[in-house]
Chains A and B, each alone.
Chain A
Amino acid sequence: MNFLRRHGKLLSFVGLMLLGSWGLYCGILEENILALVPNKIKQQVSLFEHSPLSQKLIVITQASSAVQAQQKAHEVEQTLLQAGFIRPKVQPDGNILLQVLSTLPGLFSAQIQTETEKKIALPAISQQFARYYEELFSFQSIATTERMIHDPFNLTEIILNGWSKIGQGVQTLNFTDGFLTAENVFIYSLT
Chain B
Amino acid sequence: MKYYLSLLLCLLFTLPWAQEANDALQNYAKQISTVHTLQSNFIEEKHLSLLSEPIQSEGILSFNKNTQQLRWQYQKPFENGFLIEKNKVYRLQGTTKKPIESAMGRLFMAEMLVWLTLDFDSLQKNYSITLNGSEITFVPYHKEHKVVKKITVCLEAKDPRIVTQVKMEEPSGDFIVWKFNNTQINPTLSTEVF
Identify the A interface with B (CB < 8 A): 93, 134, 136-143, 145-146, 148-149
Once bound together, how far apart are the Cα atoms of A139 and B108, in whole Å? 11
Give the dominant DSSP class at B's interface: strand
A93, A138, A149: the one contacting B50 at CB < 8 Å is A149
Q: Decide yes or no: A134 and B80 within 8 Å by CB, A93-B144, A139-B72, A145-B48 being known contacts.
A: yes
In the assembled complex, the CB of B110 is this many whole angstroms from the nearest CB of chain A, namely 15
Besides the known contacts A137-B77, A139-B72, 9 further A-B residue pairs in the complex with CB atoms under 8 A apart: A93-B144, A136-B48, A136-B51, A139-B74, A141-B46, A142-B168, A142-B176, A145-B48, A146-B172
A139 adjacent to B82 (CB under 8 Å): yes
Once bound together, how far apart are the Cα atoms of A62 and B174, in whole Å? 46
A138 adjacent to B147 (CB under 8 Å): no
Identify the B interface with A (CB < 8 A): 46, 48, 50-51, 55, 57, 72, 74, 77-78, 80-82, 91, 144, 147, 168, 172, 174, 176
In the assembled complex, the CB of B133 is this many whole angstroms from the nearest CB of chain A, namely 27
Once bound together, how far apart are the Cα atoms of A131 and B50, in whole Å? 15
A137, A145, A149: the one contacting B78 at CB < 8 Å is A137
Q: Which residues of B contact A143 (CB under 8 A)?
A: 147
A139 adjacent to B81 (CB under 8 Å): yes
A134 adjacent to B176 (CB under 8 Å): no
Once bound together, how far apart are the Cα atoms of A27 and B180, in whole Å? 76
Q: Which residues of A contact B174 (CB under 8 A)?
A: 145
A137 adjacent to B57 (CB under 8 Å): yes
- Give B104's nearest chain A residue, CB to CB: A143
Give the dominant DSSP class at A's interface: helix
Once bound together, how far apart are the Cα atoms of A141 and B176, in whole Å? 11
Q: Which residues of A contact B72 (CB under 8 A)?
A: 139
- Give B56's nearest chain A residue, CB to CB: A137
Once bound together, how far apart are the Cα atoms of A138 and B147, in whole Å? 16
Once bound together, how far apart are the Cα atoms of A139 and B91, in whole Å? 10
Q: Which of B50, B172, B176 has its CB near the most chain A CB atoms (within 10 A)?
A: B50
Once bound together, how far apart are the Cα atoms of A136 and B81, in whole Å? 12
- Give A146's nearest chain B residue, CB to CB: B172
Q: Decide yes or no: A134 and B144 within 8 Å by CB, A145-B48, A145-B174, A149-B50 being known contacts.
A: no
In the assembled complex, the CB of B92 is this many whole angstroms from the nearest CB of chain A, namely 9
Once bound together, how far apart are the Cα atoms of A144 and B93, in whole Å? 17
19 CB < 8 A contacts A-B: A136-B50, A136-B51, A136-B55, A137-B55, A137-B57, A137-B74, A137-B77, A137-B78, A138-B74, A139-B81, A139-B82, A140-B91, A141-B46, A142-B147, A142-B168, A142-B176, A143-B147, A145-B50, A146-B172
B80 adjacent to A138 (CB under 8 Å): yes
Once bound together, how far apart are the Cα atoms of A143 and B148, in whole Å? 11
Q: Which residues of A contact B176 (CB under 8 A)?
A: 142
In the assembled complex, the CB of B9 is this many whole angstroms from the nearest CB of chain A, namely 39
Once bound together, how far apart are the Cα atoms of A93 and B147, in whole Å? 13
Q: Which residues of B contact A146 (CB under 8 A)?
A: 172
B144 adjacent to A138 (CB under 8 Å): no
Q: Which residues of A contact B55 (CB under 8 A)?
A: 136-137
